[in-house]
A = this chain, B = another copy of it.
């Protein structure tokens, strides 16, 4: 049943109704409400699973490299591939933050937690890679990745995310310790 929640990913939470979900999933409404007492719980369950899948996806990209900085770049190379795939609809947590602006709402908190965990992963890799200001690097890479996800929604499969990896490389390079860059003083 939860697999039928791809509708949430493709169309958003408000646009897809419970009836649509049960009709597409071929199950009865009572079956759904037996597992999830309300639609919000269903949304949160979907988000938590998406959270786990996303972090696993990140770790898979990390696993292909050993150098921390290369691991960071590997994530963005995977992002470039993912964001240009025809089935990609961007980041589900962005729509969550948009549809649930209340920061105390459970769905918003799951989305925020995902971003914070990703931020921590970025910062950790940046620290391991000896980069200066790992938190700043994480901030910037996080924005870059989210911008790529936005581009998917906005432009479709042919989007600027093809160039996201080199942008990440520029950001990483700008924080490498041995170099002096004009950007540092901005």
Residues of chain B within 8 A (CB-CB) of A88 are none
Does any Cβ of B come within 8 Å of A153's Cβ? yes
- Residue pair A169, B186 in contact (C-beta under 8 Å): yes
How far does the alpha carbon of A146 sit from the alpha carbon of B155 in the complex, in Å? 13
The tally of residues in A whose CB lies under 8 Å from a CB in B reads 58
Does any Cβ of B come within 8 Å of A23's Cβ? no
Q: How far is the CB of A144 from chain B (nearest CB, A)?
A: 6
Stretch from A11-19, A37-45, A49-57 contacting the other chain: A11-19
- Residue pair B163, A139 in contact (C-beta under 8 Å): yes
Tell me the number of copies of this protein: 4
For A112, A155, A183, the residue with the greatest tally of chain B CB atoms inside 10 Å of its CB is A183
Does any Cβ of B come within 8 Å of A120's Cβ? no
Does any Cβ of B come within 8 Å of A46's Cβ? no
How far does the alpha carbon of A133 sit from the alpha carbon of B31 in the complex, in Å? 55
Residues of chain B within 8 A (CB-CB) of A183 are 166, 169-170, 172-173
- Residue pair B11, A101 in contact (C-beta under 8 Å): yes
Which single member of B10, B14, B139, B171 contacts A14 (CB below 8 Å)? B14
Scan residues 159-186 of chain A and give those whose CB is less than 8 A from a CB of chain B.
160-167, 169-174, 181-184, 186
Residues of A in contact with B (beta carbons under 8 Å apart): 10-12, 14-15, 73, 77, 89-90, 93-95, 97-99, 101, 103, 111-112, 115, 119, 136, 138-140, 142-151, 153-156, 160-167, 169-174, 181-184, 186
Which single member of B10, B161, B182 contacts A101 (CB below 8 Å)? B10
- Residue pair A148, B154 in contact (C-beta under 8 Å): no
- Residue pair A150, B94 in contact (C-beta under 8 Å): yes
- Residue pair B98, A153 in contact (C-beta under 8 Å): yes
Residues of chain B within 8 A (CB-CB) of A94 are 94, 98, 150, 153-154
